[in-house]
């Protein structure tokens, strides 16, 4: 299990870098090392401040989703956030790239946040059928206000740096060396703990939460995670941050075992597997047929195109923020056939045939097309996933 936490002292300031390529995920090794380091800093004489950053030009893209089955092992993110928040010196977060999930939760426990323009921010957990268990449901509403925090928590969507600055998630956007800027900020930034702030709302906070709950029950009645997230926020307002964060452990454990969460994690990995490019460089993206399926997904139709051209097309769509599925020769095209099969209730049967014929690379590609491009309910994972559940039912 890889990962390490690097630390150096600069004029009384501890500069901490999370080093766990490729995205500096908070796996067990990293969490244990960070816990030991922060515990020691709490008693370090002469400490003037702390800078939290990532290594290799990246911040922390969140927890390690592969470790959800061992979520109770090792120090949880909520304990790391508490250690950061309890330090009696300024703690500055220097962000490059993605600050998602546990990465954002640690940033929220800092006093000041500086980010590069290309950074993104979000709590994607509800989109995986769970909740942010490291204090994000508590500190985000206190920092930016209840309504914008609920919008981010429930949508599970990320926002870019300018939007995050406007909301108050970050304090500076800097096109330069954010670690150097963070070191300079230590001497001018006061200790300012988001966990100690009151929750601001446009009206009675619990009435606001009730309105959001009613909306979730209308729009997403089959997903339990939004309701649990709202329970967490409401408990924090009524009973206090620490009580709610402690209760989040139970909420996470319940949600982590639900069919919806398992399906959402499956499609998460399926989408990423579909994005792996074929070998080849220097290709012409315009030589490949690329068809948009809804607002998020692009089907790249190989149709005899070279690997280099397919790889170029995939790179172009990824740069535009699109999900991509590569399909092989098929008449009609794969997505058109699947659209008709979904209407007829035969998508799993057709999907198996398309995989056998080589029109798609893996069963998960069928599910990605159906879920991300053709409107199949995401919390069900896809027709191939559902068929596999039936086949393997005890």
Give the separation between CA 386 and CA 364, rounded to whole angstroms: 11
Beta strands in the chain (DSSP E): 4-10, 13-19, 49-54, 91-95, 98-100, 112-115, 120-122, 159-160, 172-173, 289-293, 297-301, 323-327
pLDDT of residue 70: 58
The residue ranking higher by pLDDT, 148 or 249, is: 148
**If we measure between CA atoms, which residue out of 159, 124, 377 comes closest to residue 229?**
124
Residue 129 in contact with residue 261, Cβ under 8 Å? yes
Q: Beta 98-100 vs 112-115: how paired, if at all?
A: unpaired
pLDDT of residue 285: 81
Which residue of the set 125, 223, 271, 317 is catalytic?
Answer: 125
156: region left, alpha or beta (phi > 0 left; psi from -120 to 50 alpha): left
Q: Beta 159-160 vs 120-122: how paired, if at all?
A: antiparallel
Residue 98 in contact with residue 59, Cβ under 8 Å? yes
pLDDT of residue 71: 55
Dihedrals phi, psi of 236, to nearest 5 degrees: -65, -35
Residue 348 in contact with residue 384, Cβ under 8 Å? yes
1 has pLDDT over 50 = no
Structure-block tokens of residue 287: 């030589």
Which residue of the set 8, 85, 105, 223 is catalytic?
Answer: 105
- Least confident among 84-88, 260-264, 299-303, 351-355: 299-303
pLDDT of residue 283: 75
Q: Answer yes or no: 223 catalytic.
A: no
User: Which class for 304: exposed (0-12), middle (13-18), buried (19 or more C-beta within 10 A)?
Assistant: exposed
The whole-number average pLDDT for the span 191-207 is 94
Give the separation between CA 18 and CA 24, rounded to whole angstroms: 6
**If we measure between CA atoms, which residue out of 130, 115, 122 comes closest to residue 149?**
122
98 has pLDDT over 90 = yes
pLDDT, mean over the chain: 93
pLDDT of residue 277: 74
384 has pLDDT over 70 = yes
Q: What is the pLDDT of residues 242-298, one digit of tens each?
A: 999 999 999 998 999 999 999 999 999 999 999 887 766 677 788 888 899 988 999
Give the separation between CA 142 and CA 168, rounded to whole angstroms: 11
360: region left, alpha or beta (phi > 0 left; psi from -120 to 50 alpha): beta
**If we measure between CA atoms, which residue out of 291, 296, 249, 251 comes closest to residue 271?**
296
pLDDT-based confidence at 129, cuts 50/70/90? very high
The residue ranking higher by pLDDT, 1 or 156, is: 156
Q: What is the pLDDT of residues 18-73, one digit of tens each?
A: 999 989 999 999 999 999 999 999 999 999 999 999 999 999 998 877 776 655 67
Q: Answer yes or no: 105 catalytic.
A: yes
Its pTM stands at: 0.91
Domains defined for the chain, CATH in brackets: 4-256 (3.90.226.10), 266-391 (no CATH)
């Amino acid at each position: 299990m890889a990962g390490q936490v690097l630390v150096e002292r600069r004029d009384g300031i501890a500069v901490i870098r999370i080093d766990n390529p490729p995205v500096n995920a908070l796996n067990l090794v990293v969490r244990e090392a960070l816990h030991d380091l922060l515990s020691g800093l709490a008693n370090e004489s002469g400490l003037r401040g702390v800078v939290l950053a990532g290594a290799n030009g990246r911040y922390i893209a969140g927890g390690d989703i592969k470790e959800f089955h061992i979520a109770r092992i090792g120090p949880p993110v909520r304990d790391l956030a508490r250690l950061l928040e309890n330090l009696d010196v300024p703690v500055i977060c220097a962000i490059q790239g993605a600050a998602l999930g546990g990465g954002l939760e640690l940033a929220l426990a800092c006093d000041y946040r500086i980010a590069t323009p290309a950074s993104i921010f979000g709590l994607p957990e509800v989109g995986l059928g769970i909740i942010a268990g490291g204090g994000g449901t508590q500190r985000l509403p206190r920092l930016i206000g209840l309504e914008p925090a609920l919008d981010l928590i429930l949508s599970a969507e990320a926002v870019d740096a300018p939007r995050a600055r406007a909301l108050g998630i970050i304090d500076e956007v800097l096109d330069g060396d954010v670690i150097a800027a963070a070191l300079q900020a230590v001497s001018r930034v006061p200790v300012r703990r988001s966990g100690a702030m009151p929750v601001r709302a446009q009206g009675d906070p619990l009435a606001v939460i009730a309105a959001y709950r009613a909306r979730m029950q209308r729009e997403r009645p089959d997903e339990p995670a939004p309701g649990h997230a709202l329970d967490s926020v409401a408990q924090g307002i009524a009973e206090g941050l620490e009580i709610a964060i402690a209760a989040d452990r139970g909420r996470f454990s319940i949600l982590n075992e639900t069919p919806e969460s398992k399906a959402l994690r499956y499609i998460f990995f399926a989408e990423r597997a579909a994005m792996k490019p074929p070998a080849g460089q220097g290709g012409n993206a315009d030589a490949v047929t690329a068809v948009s399926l809804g607002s998020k997904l692009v089907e790249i139709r190989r149709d005899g195109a070279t690997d280099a051209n397919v790889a170029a097309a995939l790179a172009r769509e990824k740069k535009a923020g699109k999900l991509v599925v590569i399909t092989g020769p098929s008449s009609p095209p794969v997505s058109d056939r699947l659209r008709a099969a979904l209407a007829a209730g035969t998508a799993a049967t057709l999907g198996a045939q398309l995989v056998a014929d080589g029109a798609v690379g893996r069963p998960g590609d069928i599910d990605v097309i159906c879920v991300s491009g053709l409107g199949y309910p995401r919390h069900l994972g896809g027709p191939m996933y559902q068929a596999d559940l039936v086949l393997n039912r005890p």
